[in-house]
Structure 1
Amino acid sequence: MKTDLKEAGFSNIFIEDMTSSWSKFTKDRYKNYQDNIDRHTRVHNEIIVQNMLYFYSFAMRYLSGGKLAGIRVSAKKIRLLKISL
């Protein structure tokens, strides 16, 4: 990936593995959603709440189970402008 970015003209490339951080985040998000399920059901409806629980649990299971990973990529690309006189 880094080579591809360099070939595309990017520099100052930084790639960080976010899998562990995102795994913890998704576990916390799922727990917080469950802890407030009465409120969510009251504000939204049962179908939306069940869909959100499914989505949150899916992300949590796949990140913690090693089936999904995450990265953060930052890079800089400077474009030179061609000026015609």
Structure 2
Amino acid sequence: ENGLKPLPSATNFVTIDCGRDGAFALKVMQALLSRDVFIRKPMAPRLDRCIRVSVGLDHELDIFAEELPGALATALGN
């Protein structure tokens, strides 16, 4: 839907490939933080282009889904 790709996971978080470089993933993370949505960004090579979203309560995941499109637009400079 947003052009992002979740990586397979057997943990309590999902790693999402932002499809660009680490700088773009950092912009997405910062844009979400400015919307009071806290996520993490892996620093390991090849994963630094990803964001990491912890499994949360339904309403928390709804907030993430609601805020993600705007954060992506901000990261893209739109």
TM-score, normalising length from structure 2?
0.31
Higher helix share: 1
Larger RCO (CA under 8 A, 6+ residues apart) = 1
* Structure of greater Rg: 1
TM-score, normalising length from structure 1?
0.30
